[in-house]
Structure 1
């Protein structure tokens, strides 16, 4: 451990992996921000905290069973000559879940049904937590397999994951509040989830979409929406 603290290569690996884990965590933060907007604020805050705590726990647990995790990349089924591993199947299932969930939320927003407005109670809260657990597992698996490919020391992997989750926690509150305060950004976030879901399914079927393209599209759309919100605020000020 002392050797790692004095090794420049270890610090470089930590910084690189932490940056990558933060970028990969964007998906998690977007999903959390959208899903908790369906429940009242006190429960939403608690659900977000539980979701990020579970994300950290899942990532550390997966790191502690590296041998089993690496085994998930071995082919288990063949579809039309395409070998799929457990990791591929999990990514496909998680991607389909994201697409279905985002599509349902978009439909609810467009229809503006009364039954789909915010609902509290234990059942609504538990349903949100269950959905967070499902998607946390998918994102954690993808995140940790990436970490394994970039670093060799378990201590570096755990440190990078912990730092990334702390930053996710600090950013999730402002992101969730912004999404709740600006309905148009929620629709944009749901569109991102569909895009991310498609990318996960494509990865599962061995068709890799470079994440740089996806994150550039997200950043560009966020920048456009930011200026749109800013313009709307200025129009309201002039009108008053």
Structure 2
């Protein structure tokens, strides 16, 4: 154990795996944040922490059961020449659940807007139901995360340390991320669209069609950057409207002025 701490490549593997686990964990945080937003305010932080604790517990448990994980990659049966494994079944089921849940949340947002209710929630959820749904998606994301870790690092202690650190950081920032998503309806819609894409990717992997996740995350990062710029622009326009006695000159108002002249 002491020898591991003295090897530079071990520290490099630890840092790389921690960063990768954080990237893979963003989807987990977004799903939990959107789900707990449907709970009463006094229960949200508790549900968020329970969900992330389950994520940590499942990841460490899966690492300790490496033999079981390796067995999940062994073919169980074949369908039309495609060798189906346990991992594929779990990813397909989890991806389908994520798509179904995210599309349902998007429909809930539109229903809430049509009813002139809070756009941020779109319905309420029982605490037990929320924890159950978080646990299901934790299992899917944890399996995907740990299989990635097994492919990168050989030492189980390094994997466990990276997972603990990454989930600890997720716990530290989950509240801030959740509040930001909840307070910006456009970001929430974008996050739900992300989850639909992630669910489709998991479903495709479960059907034997691997999609490079680098492309998916790059597109997500670009879309998020554009939306953040839009939020900043809207904020500046709102400040300009508040400080100016005259109406802001938008394309609509300029068109009306020209027509009246």
TM-score, normalised by the number of residues in structure 1: 0.95
Structure 2 partner of 1:13: 13
Kindly indicate whether the alpha-carbon contact (under 8 Å) linking 2:33 and 2:177 is maintained by their aligned counterparts in 1.
yes
Could you list the runs of 4 or more consecutive aligned residues of structure 1 that deviate by over 6 angstroms after TM superposition? none
What is aligned with 1:84?
Answer: 84
CA contact (8 A) 1:40 1:118 kept: no
Give the 3-state SS of the residue equivalent to 1:38 in structure 2: coil
* 1:58 maps to 2:63: no
Residue segments in structure 1 that go unaligned for 5+ positions in a row: none
Question: Are the counterparts in 2 of residues 39 and 118 from structure 1 also a CA contact under 8 Å?
Answer: no
1:129 aligns with 2:131: yes
Which residue does 1:188 correspond to in 2?
190
Match of 1:210 among 209, 212, 227: 212
Number of residue pairs matched by the alignment: 237
CA-to-partner distance for each residue in 1:63-115, whole Å, 9 max, x for gaps? 11111111011111222111110100000000000000001111111121569
1:174 to 151, 166, 176: 176
Task: Note the 1:83-232 alignment, pairs <5 A.
Answer: 83-112=83-112, 117-119=122-124, 124-232=126-234
Q: Which moved more, 1:202-211 or 1:54-63?
A: 202-211
| TM-score, scaled to structure 2 | 0.87
Q: Shift in Å at residue 136 of structure 1?
A: 0.1
Residue in 2 aligned with 1:33? 33
| Cα distance in 2, alignment partners of residues 10 and 181 from structure 1 | 41
Larger helix percent: 1
- Larger Cα Rg: Structure 1 or Structure 2? 2
Q: CA deviation at 1:118?
A: 4.6
Deviation at 1:119, TM superposition (A): 2.9
Q: RCO higher in 1 or 2 (8 Å CA, sep ≥ 6)?
A: 1
Q: Measure, in 1, the Cα distance between the counterparts of 2:111 and 2:39.
A: 18
Unaligned stretches of 5+ residues in structure 2: 243-261
